[in-house]
Structure 1
Amino acid sequence: MPSIDELLPLVAEPREDLAAEYKGWLNLAETNHKAVLAKAAIAIANHGGGYIIIGMRDDRAQLVSVSRPDEIPATAQDTVNAAIQRFATPGFHCEVYVVPHPETGVFHPVIVVPGGMTEPVMSKRDCRDVIAQNRVYIRKPGPRSEEPQTGEEWRALLRRCVQNGREDMLDSIRAIVSGRVEPVSHVPNAAAELHGYAEGARRRWQELVADLPENDEARFPHGYYEMAFKLIGAEPAPTLVELRNRLQVAQRIRLTGWTTFLDMNRPEWAPYLHEDFIEAWVGRKVDRDWLRTSAHCDFWRASRDGKLYTVRGYSEDGIPNKVPAGAAIDLTMPVWRVGEGLLFASRFAETFEGVESIAIECTFTGLKDRYLTSVDGMRAMFGDRHSRTDTVTLVGQPTVQQVQDNLTEVMQALLSPLYERFDFFEAPFELFDTELNKLRGGRF
């Protein structure tokens, strides 16, 4: 990220060029000003990145620093990105820095627009006399932001996107070969916000099971695992009906027989509205309880801003004549459980605009004194590896692209701390790679 000193020349010695756009003060509470900002950002992103500097007036071909009017609110990063997400597709994230003018002392917002786009950025909404829907804007000499008109302008844009796509592909190949996953920039407070959401969803589940007998399977008496996801940067779904539609898009792909975020047709188990959430509880008792084990009493919840939560008991605790309830964890099951949840979250993310990454929080409880085993005997396990820890929480924040291209590496980084709890067991790369290939192929 640039420092204030590095950005200072943009303010102290203002000069418009193809990578720098200067604007007067914009009130981003107004749709017209949002469109002005978004159009400039789209053009600069298509140019390969650059800067938008706010608070400069063009005075006889000279850019001068002017104070922000009292009626115009300060330019916040969230407000800038909300304006861009409203008008641009695909969405992208900008950083905002406040740089003081060395002479006037006025603090000017400097918006850093990223480059590296692998497809042209387009506008997705109209704003009269400012921006038109489904248009591509580029930077042209002047400088100005306009649609490409000539074959050469289009070829230059497409060449840039193809080159960026080639670099992304090569980076993915390098990551696979070297077994690494590049870290992403963590959004401040995202982990804390997701943790709070998970705690609220867990309290809601506890309300639902409060009247059940203490050892009821729906209360997961031997422990449970929960997964929570937050789509960083997602533009919220406008209504709960639209949220339900997006969930159903993600639910079309079923990777296992009892899939994550299950959508049941039976009225007692079907998703329903609760406050400003969609949730489902399969632990509710009905006349026929033929599948009522801890592994089939899920509770899940989804919010319009792209957060998900689910909790489920361990299937190992309900397999007759295999292992006693509460005694073991199957070697492959965490890979399948979390892998399926993360793949669902990535499909869900594709129905939103502006998603930068997926924050994850997974918690496994009831681990103390369990041992690691292969329930079906398909994997050799030597020695008894027990957990002395009862609960472990795992966190991560991959991009959607990393989930799609480097799922094995993402999962190994996320789940290794869980396996280590079992007497320092080091889960091999092959375990994740083989089981995730089976999962994606629907071989359950």
Structure 2
Amino acid sequence: MTDWPLDWQALVDEAVRRRKEEGHTQKSLAAIAGVSMPTVNAFERGDIRLRLEKVFDILGALGMVTLPSAPGSLAAFVRAARQRWSELVEPLPPAHPSRQSLGHVTYAYAIADGEIELPLGSLRKQLQDLPSTSGWSPFWVPTKDNIRPVIRDALIECWIGNPDADRVFRDAAHSDFWQVTGDLKAYLQRGYQEDGSGNLEPGTIFDLTLPVWRTAEVFVHILNLAKALDLDLEAPIQFESRYTGLEGRELVTWAAPLRRRPVAETHRSRTNAVKLATSTSIIELMNDFGDVVHRILTPLYDLFDGFDATRQFVEAELAEFRKSALQAQVEPR
């Protein structure tokens, strides 16, 4: 139980301690919390003139407070999706790949602020007809029994990690769980490719390039869906991603060793999880794709001993990504 009255300076001191313990700079914490760096600086100086919502943003990013999610919000949808995934994997053995126990990445988005409501059957068909961007596209719609998407509880749900399914790949990276609602909220959870069998010791590395490619794939998915549904180009997009199991991993060139030089120095994460979030629009994604990808991923790379993922690096990876996504109906510029 919290002692009352609340000691403000003790709260600030604990927040600073947690920030440092998790390896955050004031800059990276500000990016994750969605506030400015001067706001974080003022909070850590004990300034009591800050708006309460900004304080809650900072404390929430440090895991010190959990705020209620508004019904129908993206946050409420994500929380319910995570709970559903937990229920599905609960009966599985602790080491089962579908548990993604070494870590995973999640992507979630909401388009048009819930102002659209589509029939789930036709939306599932639209998702199935979207062009592929890789051999394992986000929100892939399989057709095999036990893993094909089903309609339940007013949404579309797909669990490719179902242990009873006839699957070619059974590692964490191919055990996707996703949900999509009729008002265009979506959630995808996937294990790390780096943790597959036959790789280096699972749970020890984090590839330099894959976050750019996978984030770009989700954004292209959004653009393709928006085009298929003929959505207004000004439609707003809320986007968030979350990476877990990062602590102790070293940033390396693993997925493209022949194309990318090895990371020059040791860059290791001392933080286990990070949530990234941004607001954009369909038209901004179309016109400033690289900028959106860069700004959402900068705090992630910063966790690895301050690795500087420059705009030039991101654009170079996106250029390679475009080469492998030529079949996409909407190509990022």
Q: Same fold (TM over 0.5)?
A: yes
- The 2-side partners of 1:310 and 1:334 are apart by 14
Q: 1:356 aligns with which of 211, 221, 235?
A: 235
Query: Which residue of 1 is the match for residue 116 of structure 2?
Result: 236
Distance 1:266 1:326, change over 3 A: same
Q: SS of the counterpart of 1:398?
A: strand
Alpha-carbon displacement from aligned partner over 1:34-66 (angstroms, at most 9, x marks no partner): xxxxxxxxxxxxxxxxxxxxxxxxxxxxxxxxx
Residue of structure 2 equivalent to 1:269:
147
Q: Which amino acid aligns with 2:292?
A: V
CA–CA separation in structure 1 for the residues paired with 2:144 and 2:214: 24
Cα distance between partner residues in 2 of 1:287 and 1:262: 16
Select the structure of larger CA radius of gyration: 1
Q: 1:255–1:441: 8 Å Cα contact kept in structure 2?
A: no
| Superimposed CA distance per residue, residues 46-97 of structure 1 (whole angstroms, 9 cap, x where no aligned partner) | xxxxxxxxxxxxxxxxxxxxxxxxxxxxxxxxxxxxxxxxxxxxxxxxxxxx
Matched to 1:379, the amino acid is R
1:325 aligned onto 2:202: yes
- 1:91-130 paired onto structure 2 within 5 Å: none
Tell me the equivalent position of 2:286: 404
TM-score (norm 2): 0.71
Higher relative contact order (Cα pairs below 8 Å, separated by 6+ residues):
2
Check if 1:369 corresponds to 2:248: yes
d(CA) in 1 for partners of 2:107, 2:201:
25
Paired residues for 1:41-60 under 5 Å:
none
Q: In the TM superposition, what are the counterparts of 1:161-200 in structure 2 within 5 Å?
A: 193-200=73-80
TM-score (norm 1): 0.54
Deviations 1:292-316 (A, max 9, x none): 0000000000001110100000000
SS in 2 for 1:409: helix
Alpha-carbon distance in structure 1 between the residues aligned to 2:315 and 2:118: 38
Is 1:257 the equivalent of 2:135? yes
1:437 match: 319
Contact 1:191-1:359 at 8 Å conserved across structures: no
How many residue pairs match? The answer is 253
Alpha-carbon shift at residue 431 of structure 1 (Å): 2.1
Q: What secondary structure sits across from 2:305 in the alignment?
A: coil
Tell me the CA shift for residue 191 of structure 1. 12
- Which has a greater percent of helix? 2
- The residue type paired with residue 235 of structure 2 is E
Tell me the alpha carbon deviations over residues 95-128 of structure 1, each in whole angstroms, 9 at most, x when there is no partner.
xxxxxxxxxxxxxxxxxxxxxxxxxxxxxxxxxx
Code of the aligned partner of 1:314? Y
* 2:93 equivalent in structure 1: 213
Q: Give SS of 1:441's match.
A: helix
Q: Distance in 2 between matches of 1:258 and 1:399?
A: 25
- Does 2:296 match 1:414? yes
Q: Distance in 2 between matches of 1:192 and 1:434?
A: 38
Amino acid aligned to 1:401: I
Which secondary structure does the structure 2 equivalent of 1:422 belong to?
coil
Q: Tell me which moved more, 262-271 or 302-311.
A: 262-271
C-alpha contact 1:272 1:280 (8 A) present in aligned 2: yes
Partner of 1:294: 172
CA distance in structure 1 between the partners assigned to 2:91 and 2:180 by the alignment: 24
CA distances 1:244-293 after superposition (whole Å, capped 9, x unpaired): 233234x2x11110110011121121111111000100001246553000
1:345 aligns with 2:222: yes
Separation (CA, whole Å) in 2 of partners of 1:343 and 1:443: 9
Tell me the distance in 1 between the aligned counterparts of 2:230 and 2:90: 35
Q: Which has the higher strand share?
A: 1
Q: Distance in 1 between matches of 2:168 and 2:184?
A: 33
What is the Cα-based RMSD across aligned positions, in Å?
2.1
Q: What are the residue-to-residue correspondences of 1:126-145 with 2, within 5 Å?
A: none
Q: Which stretch has the larger CA shift, 341-350 or 208-217?
A: 341-350
Other structure's SS at 1:213 match: coil
Could you say if the C-alpha distance between residues 196 and 233 of structure 1 is closer, same or farther in structure 2, counting changes exceeding 3 Å? closer
* Counterpart residue identity of residue 237, structure 1: E
**Residue identity in the other structure for 1:297:** S
- In structure 2, the gaps of 5 or more residues are 1-68, 327-333
| 1:352–1:306 CA distance, 2 compared to 1 (3 A) | farther
Matching residue's letter, 1:345: I
Give the whole-Å Cα distance in 2 for the aligned partners of 1:278 and 1:313: 21
Aligned to 1:379: 260
Shift of 1:319: 5.0
Other-structure match for 2:104: 224
The structural deviation recorded for 1:236 is 2.3
> Structure 1 pair 280/236, CA: closer, same or farther in 2 (3 Å)?
same
Cα distance in 2, alignment partners of residues 289 and 233 from structure 1: 36
Moved over 6 A (4+): 189-192
Is the 2:128–2:140 contact (alpha carbons within 8 Å) kept by the matching residues of 1? no
Select the residue among 297, 300, 307 that pairs with 1:425. Answer: 307
